[in-house]
Structure 1
């Protein structure tokens, strides 16, 4: 953030050149979001895949870590895409070596989608350092700061979702 251009723009400073805290908070959120979007784009580019593909891999890796079995219908529902789009997505990820289709262990008619070990390693390498830096920042917070920030972010999420929360 360039404080000179920020203060002269009047965006998060009031007409009296005093900090406008709510505007400063929203500005900081927008800056964070822009950095996150740029990082995700860079990750997708480095892995040679689109947003939905990367979201699918993250979902599959989380499911694998918890022992959850994921079928094509689960992917469709989670990603909010059609069955046909899901089939194309899985085909792309199989062809690129990121996932395998395997028979469901207890339902012969079903398939499960499993990320490959190489995918787990690639995602950890690509995102691991960024996650470590973000965790280091979060670990610097006191318990009270964490409570305040989590509460604020939950209320902001509710404001975006249009669902008033229970405070």
Structure 2
């Protein structure tokens, strides 16, 4: 039975493996972290039938509009997205991922997601519930700000 500190060590090892995978993905697609996050956000929104404006993208990425404009210029130049007039607001633009972008993201990330799902499917219902509660609690623990954290006594 793993000890508590071994569980934390494995969580750290997972985080490092995930960061390495993200770095390899960005390198293979020749994109930065924000570029890939923006593209995934656009693809998700398009799949849900929602239009995205540069302002919405700035809010989602917590970036300044000037930085988003530079990123959009880069992704337009690379052929991953295009801008078009917003159909409901003539003063605004809509940003859309190009059709090939979806294929590229699926090809790059699809195999990795399949491997992760295969691992998750091996959990029985009890294991899945325990892991779910644990990860949720760990996320909550990381959300605590310094002001909220208990002070050593």
Question: C-alpha separation between the residues in 1 aligned to 2:26 and 2:50?
Answer: 25
Match of 1:62 in 2: 44
Match of 2:99 in 1: 117
* 2:83 aligned residue (96, 101, 106): 101
Instruction: Give the C-alpha shift of residue 110 in structure 1.
Output: 1.2
Where does the alignment leave 5 or more consecutive residues of structure 2 unmatched?
149-153
Q: 1:1-167, aligned counterparts within 5 Å?
A: 21-162=3-144
Report the more deviating stretch, 26-35 or 60-69.
60-69
Question: C-alpha separation between the residues in 2 aligned to 1:66 and 1:137?
Answer: 28
Instruction: Give the C-alpha shift of residue 137 in structure 1.
Output: 0.7
Instruction: Give the C-alpha shift of residue 81 in structure 1.
Output: 0.6
Instruction: Give the C-alpha shift of residue 141 in structure 1.
Output: 1.0
Question: C-alpha separation between the residues in 1 aligned to 2:121 and 2:14?
Answer: 18
Instruction: Give the C-alpha shift of residue 127 in structure 1.
Output: 0.4
Question: C-alpha separation between the residues in 1 aligned to 2:23 and 2:78?
Answer: 18
Moved over 6 A (4+): none
Equivalences, count: 146
Mark the structure with the bigger radius of gyration. Answer: 1
Question: C-alpha separation between the residues in 2 aligned to 1:46 and 1:117?
Answer: 19
Kindly report the root-mean-square deviation, in angstroms, between the aligned alpha carbons of the 2 structures: 1.4
SS across alignment from 2:84: strand
With the length of structure 1 as denominator, give the TM-score of the two structures: 0.84
Which structure ranks higher in relative contact order (CA pairs < 8 Å, sequence separation ≥ 6)? 2
